[in-house]
């Protein structure tokens, strides 16, 4: 048996670019997976990318990716429901990736908390990934 993976070439925005204080939750507009990915929204796995601009993160900083269930409350800095992953940063602006997050419900939304050690402009993007077994 062989395993084949395929993914969309392009990422789409799931949380719009926003200036986020260190320790703060992004207030960028959020789009659920069903709307953002359209016909690919039922894919088994999701790949995420954050784009960090405008300020350099500190070495070993991070950005935490949270999942808000479709029936969950509006997230606050003290009320994140489920950690989906963590982007480990170095000291440069740029793109950071997490691959292979389970797509449990395409009505879920994702958001981030900035633990980069500085104020950063951050945008969250996603793409669909499928796995096929032959």
The verdict on domain 3-133 having CATH code 2.60.120 is: yes
Specify the residue for token string 């429901």.
81
Residue 3 has what pLDDT?
Answer: 54
Q: Rounded mean pLDDT of 92-117? A: 93
Residue 59 has what pLDDT?
Answer: 82
Q: Rounded mean pLDDT of 22-51? A: 92
Residue 92 pLDDT class (50, 70, 90 cuts): confident
Domain boundaries, the chain: 3-133
DSSP string, 46-87: EEEEEEEESSPPPTT-EEEEEEE-TTSPPP-TT---EEEEEE
* Model confidence, pTM: 0.88
36 or 77, which is more confident: 36
Q: Is residue 30's pLDDT more than 90?
A: yes
Angstrom distance (rounded) from CA 65 to CA 52 = 14
Residue 76 pLDDT class (50, 70, 90 cuts): confident
Q: Is residue 131's pLDDT more than 80?
A: no
8 A C-beta contact, residue 85 and residue 23: no
- Three-class secondary structure of residue 42 per DSSP: coil
């Amino acid at each position: 048996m062989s395993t084949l993976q395929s993914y969309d070439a392009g990422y789409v925005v799931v949380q719009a670019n926003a200036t986020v204080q260190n320790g703060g939750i992004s207030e960028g507009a959020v789009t659920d997976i069903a709307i953002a990915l359209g016909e690919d929204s039922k894919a088994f796995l999701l790949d995420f990318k954050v784009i960090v601009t405008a300020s350099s993160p500190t070495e070993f900083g991070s950005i935490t990716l949270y999942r808000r269930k479709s029936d969950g409350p509006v997230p606050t800095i003290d009320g994140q429901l489920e950690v989906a992953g963590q982007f480990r940063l170095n000291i440069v602006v740029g793109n950071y990736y997490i691959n292979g997050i389970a797509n449990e419900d395409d009505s879920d939304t994702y958001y981030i908390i900035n633990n980069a050690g500085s104020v950063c402009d951050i945008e969250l993007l996603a793409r669909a990934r499928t796995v096929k077994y032959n």
